Each structure stands twice: as C-alpha cells, then as structure tokens.
Chains A and B, each alone.
Chain A
C-alpha cells in the first residue's frame, strides 16, 4: 500500500473481515456461524454495485457503527496476532546476528563451514553497502520517506537495499 490513506474498497474489505471474525466469536458452532456469515455476505453483495461515493461512504459509516455496537467483548484472536496469548512471546530469544561475531573461536570451530560462508556473506554485504545507500538516497524524496516500503534493486547484479537485515532476520520460533 503506497499511500498513507486507505481506499474505500480497502475500508469495506477490512470491515467485512473484522465483522466476520466477530460473528465467528459470537456464533461458536460452525454451522450457525456459516449461516450468519452468508447473511452478512448477502448484505455486502447487494450494495457492492453502488456508484455514488457519498452514499457508499454513508453506508460504510453506518456499517462501522453497527459493527461497533455488535462487536464481541473478547473476540477470538490468533495466538501470534497482537493481543493474542503468544504475541511477542519469543521476542526475547531472538538474538541479533552480530552476536555470532562475538563467539569464542573454540565455539566457532564447532561450525567451520557455516562461519566460512558467513565471512563470504559479510564481504558481499560490505561491497554492496555503498551502492544500497546510494540507491536509497537517490530514491527517497526530499522531505523524507513516505512509507516503510523499500524499493527493489534497480540495476542488474545489484542487491535490494537493506537486504542484510531481511536475510539475517531471526527465526519465527528461535530454537
């Protein structure tokens, strides 16, 4: 999503998704949930061909208010989602990769292949860093970046900017 504002379609889809999730929290039996989900889908479908944006926005506003009135007090959240039970639970075990450089040589000797490869990757990173910074400086507008999205690599044989952070990001569930 490039711009900071959501389009009407995106707002409608988000309302649809969260109202389905709250219906799922209210109707715990699957067949009952399916029935009310189909009803909701029919309600969204009959208005989806509205061309008048003013009316569509008024309907969206009414929909949001109805959602707020009927929301579940404790909706079902997935464990990994914000507010869930296991959200950021393993954050403390996600060690940054530069700690590998601080290992004792005897510990590093236990994994010689890995550390040899790591040296090559670090050389590659050192080589491509200047070009990445150049590309980012060229592509960022004067007031500052508009969004967090990073541009892809533009030239052939070049690596995308700040690839090292992405490649060496910690695992989902650290060992």
Chain B
C-alpha cells in the first residue's frame, strides 16, 4: 500500500514536471496522498513547486483538472491484478517463479488453509476493505481474488 502510494506520487510528480502548467494544483494533488513520514518526497515536491510558479505565467491553461479530494486513485483491472501479484510475491511461502494468476493456492502452490486466511488478510490490508469469511474461504486463486475485488469495487462494470 505504501509502495503504491509512493509510486503514484513519483508518477504524478514526473507528469507534473512534464506539463509545466498548473504546477500548484498538481503539487497539491501530489502532496495529498503523502504520508507524514515520507519527508524526502515532500521536500522534493516543495523544491520543484518554486520552479513551476515561475513557469506558470508563461503558458496558458488547457489541462484537464482532476481533484481526488483525498480519495484513492481509481482502480483498473490491470492495477488490481498487479497489486494482488505484488502482495503474493512478497509472501515467503510462495515461490514467485511458480506464481501465476491461475495457480491454485492449495493444489498448485501447496499452501494451507491457514495460509489462505493470511493471504486474504493481506489482500484486505492492501485494498482497505473487509472480505467476509463466507466469501473469503472460496477464493482459491489470484484470478478469483481479482474478480472478487473488481466485483466489489465496480471496476469495468
């Protein structure tokens, strides 16, 4: 979760430096998802803001403004799949080379039902919402997890 927020901040900062317009708005939206302990990044974006305020006067505005107001970036199916695979690769009982979207936890990866509970808990922590037990015990492959999350979050409905 933290790594995703950090990557998003870096990407939004890089995008902002490419556009040169509305530097203030973009730094605000880049600074919004920053956590308080990521001081290095905030220093970086504060340093860049002073450069952009000089350049804002030069070019005219024609940038699509999108304010998220403290909401998370919108989910896409690829993004969900990426995050699920990332979390699964971090788990030490899974061999990252053998891991695929269709690999069954019990049959292909040789995991336990307790491991499956831990994996589901890691998914809950990653995406920030609870997966009830009745539905969690049925999710046995990463593909099913991705579909369940997409179903719950109305992604590509």
Contact = CB atoms under 8 A, between A and B. Distances in A.
Interface of A: 1, 9-10, 13-14, 16-17, 20-21, 41, 44-45, 48, 77-81, 84, 171-173
Contacts of A14: 133
B11 interface: no
Contact of B133 (A17, A78, A171, A173): A17
Contacts of B137: 1, 10, 13
A171 to B, nearest CB: 5
Given A13-B137, A44-B114, A78 B129 contact: yes
Nearest to A37: B118
B114 A79 contact: no
A78 B117 contact: no
11 contacts: A1-B134, A10-B137, A13-B117, A14-B133, A20-B117, A20-B121, A78-B129, A80-B130, A81-B130, A84-B130, A172-B152
Interface string B93-122: 000000000000000000011100110110
A9 B113 CA distance: 9
Interface in B114-144: 114, 117-118, 120-121, 124, 128-130, 133-134, 136-137
A17 B125 CA distance: 13
A79 B129 contact: yes
Contact of B114 (A48, A77, A78, A84): A48
List 5 A-B pairs, minimum CB-CB distance, nearest first: A81-B130, A78-B130, A80-B129, A171-B154, A172-B154
Contacts of A84: 130
Given A9-B113, A79-B129, A172-B152, 5 more contacts: A10-B133, A13-B133, A16-B114, A44-B114, A171-B157
A13 B114 contact: yes
Contacts of B114: 13, 16, 41, 44-45, 48
Give the interface SS of chain B, mostly helix, strand, loop or mixed. Answer: helix
A44 B112 CA distance: 12
B51 interface: no
A73 to B, nearest CB: 19
Nearest to B155: A172
Contacts of A80: 129-130
B15 interface: no
Nearest to B135: A1
Contacts of A81: 129-130
A128 B152 CA distance: 26
A20 B121 CA distance: 9
B19 interface: no
B153 interface: yes
Nearest to B113: A13
A16 B113 CA distance: 11
A172 B121 CA distance: 21
Contacts of A13: 113-114, 117, 133, 137
Given A41-B114, A48-B114, A78 B124 contact: yes
A151 B94 CA distance: 35
Nearest to A86: B129
Contacts of B153: 172
